[in-house]
């Protein structure tokens, strides 16, 4: 950790504030944004991004759980920096699809190299005939914090709940947001990609549980 001095007053010794450098270990802009949201406003944290470094590590996500995948990434990336490294792995769970869907293999099921339009249609085809609660979906997020090749802490929670639409919404699919395009919130009567910034902020409140856990873990490291 880096120490910053704050000027003292009335002859008192300057206070020492310890700042912690945390590297967000992904080049995916959406995932980086989620982790930035979790870290921002936490006291004495300096956030850095993998895209701004020369670290180039290709980690195969072959774990049996989201936590295992996030741990593997954080350990490997942290071997290349003196900073703390925070990584994530997330997946959509659609219980109504049963064995037709795998929370760890979302992209493989819809075709990793397919266009966003093809991915969307693949999900809707799989869900043909499902109604109401059978179209419920949850987003599970696992986070891992590591330093110098050693795991410090892992975290996991459900960070979003919604439903998969039955019919394609109007408009184009924002690049890379194919799941958000069909992820519907009854309370807003909108899909994720239709939400206003204010509505997105309300959705992000589900991340606050993880934010509190990480705040506690980082405080313990001071």
What's the pLDDT tens digit per position in 14-27? 444 568 999 999 98
* pLDDT of the residue at 98: 96
* pLDDT of the residue at 43: 87
* pLDDT of the residue at 19: 85
- At 173-222, the pLDDT tens digits run 998 899 999 999 999 999 999 999 999 999 999 999 999 999 999 888 87
Under a CB-based contact definition with an 8 Å cutoff, are residues 124 and 110 in contact?
no
By CB neighbour count within 10 A (0-12 exposed, 13-18 middle, 19+ buried), where does 80 fall? middle
Arithmetic mean of pLDDT over the chain: 90
pTM of the prediction? 0.86
Q: What is the mean pLDDT of residues 2-7?
A: 41
> Could you tell me the pLDDT band of residue 3, with boundaries at 50, 70 and 90?
very low
């Amino acid at each position: 950790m880096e120490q910053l001095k704050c000027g003292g007053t009335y002859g008192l010794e300057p206070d020492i504030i310890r700042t912690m450098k945390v590297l967000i270990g992904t080049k995916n802009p959406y995932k980086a944004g989620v982790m930035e949201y979790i870290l921002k406003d936490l006291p004495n944290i300096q956030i850095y991004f993998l895209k701004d470094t020369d670290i180039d590590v290709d980690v195969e996500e072959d774990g049996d759980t989201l936590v295992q995948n996030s741990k593997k990434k954080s350990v490997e990336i942290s071997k290349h920096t003196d900073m703390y490294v925070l990584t994530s792995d997330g997946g959509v769970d659609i219980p109504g699809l049963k064995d037709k869907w795998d929370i760890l293999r979302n992209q493989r099921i819809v075709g990793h190299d397919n266009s966003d339009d093809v991915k969307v249609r693949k999900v809707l085809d799989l869900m043909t005939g499902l109604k109401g609660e059978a179209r419920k979906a949850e987003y599970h997020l696992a986070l891992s914090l590591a330093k110098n090749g050693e795991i410090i802490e892992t975290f996991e929670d459900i960070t979003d709940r919604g439903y998969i639409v039955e019919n394609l919404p109007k408009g184009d699919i924002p690049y890379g947001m194919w799941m958000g395009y069909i992820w519907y919130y009854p309370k807003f009567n909108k899909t994720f990609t239709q939400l206003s910034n204010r509505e997105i902020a309300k959705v992000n409140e589900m991340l606050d549980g993880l934010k509190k856990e990480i705040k506690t873990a980082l405080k313990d490291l001071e």
